[in-house]
Copies of this chain bind each other. A is one copy, B any other.
Amino acid sequence: MKNDKNPMQCQTVVALDAIVGKWKPVILHILLSGKPYRFNELRRNIPDITQRMLTMHLRELEEQDIIHREVYAQVPPKVEYSITEYGKTLGPILEAMHEWGANHLAHMASKETETDNSRSS
C-alpha cells in the first residue's frame, strides 16, 4: 500500500487512498450504479482514460475489495467489473463529496463576484 507509517491518528488517508487517483472517482461513480461493466465498456464511458490507467485503477480497487472482477472463460475474453457490497459503503462518502464540491464551486464563484464588485466600484 502507499502509506508505510501512518502514525496512528489519521485513518483518513486510508480512505483517501481508496478514492484518490486521477480516474478513481469516475470509475467508482460509474460502478456505484450497481450495473457490472466490461473493460472496454468502461473505457468508452471514460473518454480520456488510457487502458493502462484503467487497468491499474481497477486492480487497486479490486485489491481493496471495493470492486469485483469476474472473468468469463470464453473467447473472445469477457471480464466484468462490479461494485462489491463492501464497496457500496463508499457511496455515501462520494455523494457527500460530490455535493460539497458542487456547493464549493458556487461558493468560490460568489467570492469572485464580490471581488469583481469591489473592483468595479
Contacts and interface: CB of A to CB of B under 8 A. Distances in A.
Interface of A: 7, 9-16, 18-20, 25-26, 29, 47, 64-65, 86, 89-90, 92-94, 96-98, 100-105, 107-108, 111
A19 B108 CA distance: 16
Nearest to A28: B12
Given A96-B92, A96-B96, A13 B111 contact: no
A45 to B, nearest CB: 10
Contact of A15 (B47, B64, B86, B97): B97
A93 B15 CA distance: 11
Smallest CB-CB A-B distances: 7 pairs: A11-B101, A14-B101, A15-B101, A15-B97, A12-B25, A11-B102, A15-B100
